[in-house]
Amino acid sequence: MGKTSNDEFEEISESSEELYERKNIKVDKGQQPLRIDKFLVQRIENATRNKVQQSIEAGRVLVNGKQVQPNYKIRQSDEIIVYSDKETPGEEIIPEKMPLDIFYEDDEVLIINKPAGLVVHPASGNYSGTLINGVAYYLQQKNNSISEDTLPRFGLVHRIDKNTSGLMVLAKTPRAVTSLAKQFFDHTVKRQYMAVVWGDLKNDTGTIIAHVGRHRRFRKLFDAYPEGDHGKEAITHYTVLERFGYVTLVQCVLETGRTHQIRVHMKYIGHPLFNDDTYGGDKIVKGTVFSKYKQFVENCFEICPRHALHAKTIGFIHPATGKEMLFESELPDDMRMLIEKWRGYVTTKINT
């Protein structure tokens, strides 16, 4: 049998926050019984028997919905699902001591409240000083047997933008990696964000449906493709929390998790995130350019010198207990002060 190319993966694309991909294989009729590790080496490009066995032992291979052992012999019409970590650009992860805002921790998972300005993992231009460098050091201080071989990417299963603040969940065991990767892929992880966007949204609630993918001309940017002719499916639900006339505080719930999804979707409907210098929110989008208002907005930019987006809530099924876990963080000071300043501005206008 020929090996399956990467193009045939049902995968989370480059435009995703999630860092795992899933491959579905249905065993052909007429297939002779064969150990599953040998079968998968034949079917998956660049796979080695050692890597396949590690994935099986970590529970990242399911046959007909159940975990199996490496010596399991496949049968005709078996349905196999393989979860594997995507390669991320960057150098080897070097553990570095740094302060971490640990929101919750147990034997399986680690919840971190990431500050704005912190890159999640090493990549071009950011080979050290990232969140995952700090997590690697923290985990190895507790258990020096942990490495990228025993815990791929030191448990990182998703990411948020450098200048987005808020909650992230990391896995501390291979079992947790498998469970969380599956939950992210199946879009069952609950994620709520708070954002300040430009303009006064017409409706109190809404759903934005438009594929998100890399911009056709500017490859470092992402864009919305409402016809679905490019990118990957992306769905964002929003609710207006407070209106300030020129800007609006909204809650966004992700049904999918594409890179820059909220930022791209909000720009697509004409309401870019406040001070988003990538998608046009770092200038006056709504309101006049009269000197007093302009100065007020510039002061707001100084108060919140990044796009106003915070990952407030994350919820998932615990990998060991099977219980639903839900965590909620407070808004960071910069966004809290930004909201208070706009609230005060609107109140002053009403009373004058």
User: Phi and psi of 162, rounded to 5°?
Assistant: -50, -50
DSSP calls for 120-189 = SS-BTTBSSS-HHHHHHHHHHHH-TT--TTTSGGGGB-B---TT-EEEEEEESSHHHHHHHHHHHHTT-S
Cα 304 to the center of its chain, rounded Å = 22
β 165-171/190-198 pair status: unpaired
Provide, for the chain, the percentages of residues in helix, strand and coil under a 3-state DSSP scheme, each rounded to the nearest 5.
25, 30, 45
In sequence order, the β-bridge partners of residue 236 are 208, 254
Is 161 a known active-site residue? yes
In sequence order, the β-bridge partners of residue 63 are 66, 80
DSSP calls for 83-127 = EEEPP-SSS----------EEEE-SSEEEEEEPTT--SS-BTTBS
Both structure tokens of 346: 């609107």
For residues 208 and 268, is the Cβ–Cβ distance under 8 A?
Answer: yes
Choosing from 37, 161, 223, 334, the catalytic residue is 161
- The DSSP symbol for 284 reads -
Nearest to 315 by CA among 188, 195, 221, 128: 188
What is the C-alpha separation between 290 and 301, in angstroms, rounded? 16
In sequence order, the β-bridge partners of residue 327 are 314
> Residue 192: which H helix or E strand, with range?
strand 190-198
For residues 15 and 258, is the Cβ–Cβ distance under 8 A?
Answer: yes
Active site residues: 161
